[in-house]
Amino acid sequence: MVNQVIFHLAIPINSINEAKNFYSDILGAKIGRENQHAVIFDFYGHQLVGHTTKEILIPPSSIYPRHFGLIFIHESDWNLLLTRCQDHLELYQPAKLRFKEQLTEHQTFFLQDPFYNILEFKFYRHYEAIFGANHIISIGDRED
């Protein structure tokens, strides 16, 4: 029995083949079960499920309020994924450093999958900032 909790996220897709190309071939997720309506990915140890829809999917106007992604514990892993993505995709937002020299300092970049789902990948300089640093109110870049 696994001694941890695994996160599950379901997202809309229009094509199983395009989802497999993006999430598996480019991002490195392992392909699990699939049928004509859905595909399951092992997304770095978490379950990501693409459910097909006939709805017309439209791009969001911003990364806020909805996006999802991963936080890397090792900067080298974050850098490897960044390089892989830069070699195969146009980034939705380029890599940048947020909150420089603060406890919440982190590197981040954003992607958009073929179905307009926005993904963010982060590496925090200080691990405790991931869930802690409650005295700091800065979160993201939102200005509205």
Kindly list the domain boundaries of the chain, sorted by start residue: 1-54, 63-144
Neighbour count for residue 48 (Cβ, 10 Å): 23
> Can you give the pLDDT at residue 144?
47
Please give the model's pTM, rounded to 2 decimal places.
Answer: 0.90
Interval 47-56: pLDDT, tens:
999 999 999 9
Whether 63-144 and 1-54 are alike in CATH topology: the answer is yes
pLDDT category, 135, cuts 50, 70, 90?
confident
| CATH code for the domain defined by 1-54 | 3.10.180.10
Q: Which CATH architecture has domain 63-144?
A: Roll (3.10)
3-state secondary structure the chain: CCCCCCCEEEEEECCHHHHHHHHHHHCCCEEEEECCCEEEEEECCEEEEEEECCCCCCCCCCCCCCCEEEEECCHHHHHHHHHHHHHHCCCCEEEEEECCCCCCCEEEEEEECCCCCEEEEEEECCHHHCCCCCCCCCCCCCCC
Query: Mean per-residue pLDDT for 59-79?
Result: 95
Which residues are CB-contacts of 85 (< 8 A; sequence separation ≥ 6)? 26, 27, 91, 109, 111
Task: Scan for tokens 């490897």, then name that residue.
Answer: 80
Interval 70-82: pLDDT, tens:
999 999 999 999 9
